[in-house]
Amino acid sequence: MIDTIRVKYHIRPSSVHLQAWTIRSVETATGKRYSLTYNPQSENQVFPRFTYYPQGYDGTPILTFEVSLPKLIFGNNYQEITNVDEAMIAANTILEKVPNAPELNISDGVLIRLDLCHNHQVGDAVDDYINAIGNLEYPHRRTKYHRNEGVEFRARHKTTKFYNKERESGFVEAYGILRQETTLLKPKDIQKLCGCAAPTLLELSNQKITDTLNDDLSKLGLLNNSIANRSTALQTLCSVHGDDAGIYYFGLLMSKLDKSKKRIRQDTKMHPRSLDRKLKKIKDAGIPLTLTDREEPLPPLFIEL
């Protein structure tokens, strides 16, 4: 349930270690900022990234370390890490063998990037889910949709995405996996998730990860709701709201598939709150604001421990 992490330490690698690292510089408002990077190859053909800043923003040395934990441990990133404690032990064992890398305990690092994920096994319906989810909107985020490839719901420091894991990873063993993934890049978001000011992997639990991913599904209207086709959507809306209102809401749903809310408001001169209330009537009937072209509705997505 964890993929890529980036952690930081206030430690200084030895001069012997740094001889194998690459020095870089970047211009900032206060002058040049120097760093040293190191991308060694681990035993699973994975390249963790070490970055050392001799002088961080607070004046102290900072070392950051970034890696996909599943790739580091399993040699691939389609298998899920379900036990964080076991993963930390395995990762430390592998990192001990990396030459020219400083000695560190992955559980001591303060999290500054965190990717949470879940594999939904949906068989041959992966692309159908992606194409349907591509019609949805996540509050206060931009939607970036690549047909049959994936969907991203982006904010500045937080992204939720769904994609075909077999196609992305190249492993046939990942067949049928619709990958749901949320990336947290803002320290305050990670602190809130872990419930402390200096969050580490020790503060993460499967329950916290599950709650976060299910909250994303809920905001999209997908949690425990099937994705209807045209026939079942019309039947449900008429059953819940009556024939006349059901037909009206079905027509609105069809319009929402072709147009943004902004365009619908422009075409109909409808007040934004009025449109939101009408769309909520559709969602209250248990229908996400999208449809599938399959003969049967797509089963609900949910994550449980």
Inside any domain, residue 220: yes
Structure confidence at residue 41 (pLDDT): 76
Contact 113, 188 (CB under 8 A): no
Tell me, what CATH number does 128's domain have?
Answer: 3.30.310
Inside any domain, residue 268: yes
Query: 143: burial class by Cβ within 10 Å (0-12, 13-18, 19+)?
Result: middle
Question: Of 88, 108, 128, which one is at a domain's C-terminal end?
Answer: 108
Inside any domain, residue 4: yes
Residue 45 shares a structural domain with residue 124: no
Residue 119 shares a structural domain with residue 70: no
pLDDT in tens, 215-243: 999 999 999 999 999 999 999 999 999 99
Structure confidence at residue 216 (pLDDT): 98
Inside any domain, residue 25: yes
Structure confidence at residue 184 (pLDDT): 98
pLDDT in tens, 273-290: 999 999 999 999 999 999
Inside any domain, residue 166: yes
Q: 206-215: long-range contacts at Cβ-Cβ below 8 A with a sequence spacing of 24 or more?
A: 206/1, 206/82, 206/84, 206/305, 207/305, 209/1, 209/2, 209/116, 210/1, 210/118, 210/303, 210/304, 210/305, 212/116, 212/182, 213/1, 213/116, 213/117, 213/118, 213/180, 213/182, 213/303, 214/302, 214/303
Structure confidence at residue 44 (pLDDT): 65
Structure confidence at residue 43 (pLDDT): 66
Query: What domain range includes position 190?
Result: 114-225
Question: Of 209, 225, 241, which one is at a domain's C-terminal end?
Answer: 225
Q: Give me the number of domains the chain comprises.
A: 3
Inside any domain, residue 302: no
* pLDDT, one tens digit for every residue, the chain (305 residues): 999 999 999 999 999 999 999 999 888 777 788 999 999 876 667 789 999 999 887 789 999 999 999 999 999 999 999 999 999 999 999 999 999 999 999 999 999 999 999 999 999 999 999 999 999 999 999 999 988 789 999 999 999 999 999 999 999 999 999 999 999 999 999 999 999 999 999 999 999 999 999 999 999 999 999 999 999 999 999 999 999 999 999 999 999 999 999 999 999 999 999 999 999 999 999 999 999 999 999 999 999 97
Residue 100 shares a structural domain with residue 22: yes
Residue 178 shares a structural domain with residue 261: no
Residue 170 shares a structural domain with residue 200: yes
Structure confidence at residue 47 (pLDDT): 82
Q: Considering the entire predicted model, what is its pTM?
A: 0.93
Residue 6 shares a structural domain with residue 54: yes
pLDDT in tens, 178-192: 999 999 999 999 999
